[in-house]
Amino acid sequence: MWRVNHQGQKEFLGGNNDCQGAAQAAEACLNFTPDDEDEQVANEQVSCYNCRYRRWGKETFVCCK
């Protein structure tokens, strides 16, 4: 589900559209914290896509925790 990219960041392998994977990852994460409602993009409440500690890139996001 994750890889360490060339900058040493934890990068999500599912890209920008793996809602199920992002939800599963967030369910298993102790650091999940919902971002402002305006920045949430996944239908699942608990999802890395809705977490304030994700930083979006062009293809996917990196986890900042």
Partner 1 sequence: MRILICIDDTDDLESVGTGELAEMLAATINNRGWGKTYGVTRHQLLVHPDIPYTSHNSSMCFEADMDEQQVKQFIDYAAEFLGSKSAPGSDPGLCVAILDQIASLENLVDFGRKAKIAVLAKDDAYELARELGIHLSEHGGTGQGVIGALAGVGLRITGNDGRFKGKVYMNTTDGLASVREIRGHTKVDMVRSLGGKVLEDHETVLIEEALKFVLLDGKSVLLVRPHEDMVKESLWRPCSKQQLKVY
Closer to partner 1 by CB, 28 or 38: give it. 38
34 binds partner 1 (CB under 8 A): no
Residue in 60, 57, 32 with CA at minimum distance from that of residue 44: 32
8 binds partner 1 (CB under 8 A): no
Residue 41 binding partner 1, by CB under 8 A: yes
Q: Which residues, at least 6 apart from 27, have a Cβ–Cβ distance to it below 8 Å?
A: 46
- Contact call for residue 43 and partner 1 (CB under 8 A): yes
Beta pairing partners, 17: none
The tokens for 19 are: 């809602």
Could you say which of 10, 11, 19, 21 contacts partner 1 (CB under 8 A)?
19
